[in-house]
Amino acid sequence: MATMTHEINFEVIKSLDDFFYSEKFISLSVGPVGSTKTTAGIMKILHHAARMAPCKDGVRRSRTIWVRNTREQLRDTSIPDFLKWIPDGVMGTFLKTEYKFVLKVGDIECEVLFRGLDDANDVRRLLSLQASFIIFDEFREIHPDIYNAAQGRVGRYPDKMMNGVGCKTDDGRPNMHIWGMTNPPDMDTFWETLLTEPPDNVHVTIQPSGLAPEADWTKFLPDDYYDNLAKGKTEDWIAVYIHAEFGKSLSGQPVFRSFDRTVHASAEKLKPMFSDTPLLIGVDAGLTPAAVIGQVSHDGRLVVYDALISDGMGALRFVRERLKPLMANKFPGRTALVIIDPAAFQRVQTDERTVADIYKNEGFVVKPARTNSIAGRIAAVEKYLTRIVDGKYGFVVDGEDASPLVMALAGKYRYKINTKGARDEKPEKSHPWSDVADAFQYLCLHADGGETFGAQAWTSQRKNVSKVSAGGWT
């Protein structure tokens, strides 16, 4: 900002670019310790304060509420971080007794109110405040009731009496926002659900592991920062604070501890690779069907492109309403082979057809998985999670289109912990996570059997798999 008297040497790093420039009502960033999340939040205050429509006296007024769960954390962490970038006496005045900073730079005037709100009873403290923006610092520690109440407090300052348009930018766009920065929350919490299933007005940025090549903030940190930080720490601590993975579920133990979202889940769209290698569709044929669509590369890597879950529909509806339309739109003209639970070939008393018959009648070639042994199925998945091929991980999944599978692998598919603290022998049957995990296991069983590794192996079986055209799926 050219009008500022204090030079700010701030660089928007690539891993936080989407968070910083997001114009959505709510923007949230999740990352390891030391990944410049807080700095990006501070700069968003300046960025949006400078764009506020001026009041009748020419001053661009705004108000930010900076929320942490305790005053002590505000005093010891948040406020020092803020003052490091926005110095007291240079770019404004910090009123210590009021926990308030009044930013004044050129025609910009922004009040920043620091508030410690630690439980649902503090909601009433928000209801009397009118703000332009709210920042939740370490929002995983903030009570959901406070988050929900905050949404009704932004956009209230300035009002139309002050500038004629209210809380808007120079060009008339809404300028009311909630921003949040945090280390990853635990699974099976309000925050984990919000981050993995955000509504349309919420943007989520999840940074990579601090040890990943994409960790573009490490240039600002001391050498070997994360290596030293990891020493003496538990596996669970390292997963959250260094690898930016969601914390362990309090409800159970993840089945696939080898899964690492930062290396196995792709942030970019994945497209089918080889025309001479079939798509493999792992299918769970229970009361709530699920399907996982992947492909084995010539060098034996497994790539998963999509995952489907269902609710309130049987096998026939699932195939006709979910699976076939997806194949027509996303994979037209590709060969496909369905790998299904062996139980799907057994008839029930109420129907002459088996579930396998339904898939065959709808145009799919179907094969039973080699086994229904849970130990064998889990072992097949673990082989791919831990496999290295030519220096690359042997498994990658589309983080967006196959998000149900990502969530299942990340811990939603789990062993239940009993009252004595021991885990059950078999994973918990919980829709939809066990359904999509089962489908993936059947896919891995077939792929690991070597039947589809490479073009030659597939060519020998081509007569058993039908060529699916786009028109064949309608």
Residues 196 and 312 occupy one common structural domain? no
- Does any domain span residue 177? yes
- Does any domain span residue 242? no
CATH of residue 394: 3.30.420.280
pLDDT reported for residue 412: 86
- Does any domain span residue 324? yes
Residues 278 and 179 occupy one common structural domain? no
Residues 168 and 303 occupy one common structural domain? no
Each residue's pLDDT tens digit, 292-346 = 999 998 888 999 999 999 987 889 999 999 999 999 999 998 889 999 988 888 8
Instruction: Supply the pTM of this predicted model.
Output: 0.65
Residues 268 and 201 occupy one common structural domain? no
Residues 454 and 320 occupy one common structural domain? yes
pLDDT reported for residue 350: 54
Domain boundary among 206, 223, 241: 206
Domain boundary among 206, 232, 252: 206
Residues 272 and 189 occupy one common structural domain? no
- Does any domain span residue 99? yes
pLDDT reported for residue 426: 87
Each residue's pLDDT tens digit, 99-157 = 999 999 999 999 999 999 877 777 888 888 899 999 999 999 998 999 999 999 999 99
CATH of residue 83: 3.40.50.300
- Does any domain span residue 238? no
Residues 406 and 275 occupy one common structural domain? yes
Residues 270 and 400 occupy one common structural domain? yes
Total count of domains within the chain: 2
Q: Which residues of the chain have pLDDT under 50?
A: 1-4, 349, 451-474
Residues 198 and 101 occupy one common structural domain? yes
- Does any domain span residue 301? yes
Domain boundary among 185, 206, 227: 206
3-state secondary structure the chain: CCCCCCCCCCCCCHHHHHHHHCCCCEEEEECCCCCCHHHHHHHHHHHHHCCECCCCCCCEEEEEEEEECCHHHHHHHHHHHHHHHCCCCCCEEEEHHHCEEEEEECCEEEEEEEEECCCHHHHHHHCCCCECEEEEECHHHCCHHHHHHHCCCECCCCCHHHHCCCCEECCCCECCEEEEEECCCECCCHHHHHHHCCCCCEEEEECCCCCCCCCCCHHHCCCCHHHHHHCCCCHHHHHHHCCCCCECCCCEEECCCCCCHHHHEECCCCCCCCCCCCEEEEEECCCCCEEEEEEECCCCCEEEEEEEECCCCCHHHHHHHHHHHHHHHHCCCCCEEEEECHHHHCCECCECCCHHHHHHHCCCEEEECCCCCHHHHHHHHHHHHHCEECCEECEEEECCCCHHHHHHHHHHCEEEECCCCCECCCCCCCCCHHHHHHHHHHHHHHHHCCCCCHHHHHHCCHHHCCCCCHHHHC
pLDDT reported for residue 267: 83
Residues 272 and 160 occupy one common structural domain? no
- Does any domain span residue 464? yes
Domain enclosing residue 58, as ranges? 14-206
Residues 170 and 281 occupy one common structural domain? no
- Does any domain span residue 286? yes
Residues 420 and 306 occupy one common structural domain? yes
